[in-house]
């Protein structure tokens, strides 16, 4: 069940779930606010919680709205794209063979069939980004499983609008945003460790912070770096 809580000019989407604690998020691209609340918590308790967080919400919204955004993509020759934190020039090769993408130094070579549409070229690129994350995340998970004492049962990779990753602690699965393939590799490792830590601790409370501090002491640097990098241009609807 969902509703909208209006606090002056601030609209907060409230989603009730079978959870124990309140969860607050401020999400790109426009800084919209969402509260996930326990099913039986009173509307007044949710309202008071939201009011107590208005200062923090405004600060996060300002950060999101000032973040650099990538321009809309047309997937044409010499257009700028990102791969693993590097700004690359796109080279488009039209040939009658299976579409593919290769990374060559600071260039991305997109091979497509003659007459391909923008949407078709986009699909080829997005599939390449997904495979990059799947391939790069496997050794990272293998590295961190014995360190954290966690076994990840399955990894899902997809393009997500508001999260870099997520975790289902009960099923021991993690989900990674394919957009991470545009960011520096150390940012992917931070997200992998972050989500694996959620298998041990579902919330972002003191125990979770202690886990991150112990195993990845510079995680705050990677978090800040990830949030400073350009984000994808898109007309997102919620």
Q: Do 136 and 203 share a domain, yes or no?
A: yes
Phi/psi at 200 (5° precision): -85, -35
Listed residues 66, 92, 107: the one ending a domain: 66
Which letter does DSSP use for residue 182 in this model? G
Listed residues 25, 44, 66: the one ending a domain: 66
∠ Cα 222 229 71 (to 5°): 160
pLDDT in tens, 131-155: 999 999 999 999 999 999 999 999 9
Q: Do 39 and 147 share a domain, yes or no?
A: no
Question: Average per-residue pLDDT in the chain?
Answer: 89
Q: Do 115 and 10 share a domain, yes or no?
A: no
74 domain-assigned: no
Phi-psi region of 67 (alpha: psi -120 to 50; beta: other; left: phi over 0): beta
Question: Domain span at residue 24?
Answer: 2-66
pLDDT in tens, 44-88: 999 999 999 999 999 988 877 776 666 678 899 999 999 999 999
- Give the predicted TM-score (pTM) of the model: 0.73
Q: Do 12 and 101 share a domain, yes or no?
A: no
Q: Do 222 and 133 share a domain, yes or no?
A: yes
Q: How many domains does the chain have?
A: 2
């Amino acid at each position: 069940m969902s509703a909208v809580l209006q606090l002056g000019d601030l609209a907060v989407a409230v989603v009730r779930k079978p959870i124990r604690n309140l969860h607050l998020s401020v999400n790109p691209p426009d800084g919209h606010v969402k509260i996930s609340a326990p099913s039986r918590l009173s509307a007044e308790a949710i309202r008071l919680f939201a009011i107590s967080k208005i200062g923090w919400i405004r600060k996060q919204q300002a950060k999101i709205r000032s973040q650099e955004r990538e321009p809309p993509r047309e997937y044409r020759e010499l257009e700028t794209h990102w791969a693993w934190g590097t700004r690359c020039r796109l080279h488009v090769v039209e040939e009658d063979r299976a579409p593919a993408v290769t990374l060559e130094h600071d260039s991305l070579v997109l091979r497509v069939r003659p007459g391909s549409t923008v949407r078709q070229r986009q699909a080829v690129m997005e599939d390449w980004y997904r495979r990059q994350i799947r391939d790069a995340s496997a050794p990272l998970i293998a590295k961190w499983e014995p360190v954290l004492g966690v076994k990840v049962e399955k990894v899902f990779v997809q393009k997500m609008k508001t999260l870099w990753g997520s975790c289902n602690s009960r099923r021991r699965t993690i989900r990674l945003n394919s957009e991470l393939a545009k960011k520096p590799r150390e940012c992917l490792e931070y997200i992998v460790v972050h989500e694996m830590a959620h298998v041990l601790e579902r919330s972002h409370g003191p125990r979770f912070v202690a886990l991150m501090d112990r195993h990845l002491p510079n995680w705050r640097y990677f978090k800040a770096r990830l949030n400073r990098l350009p984000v994808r241009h898109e007309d997102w609807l919620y």
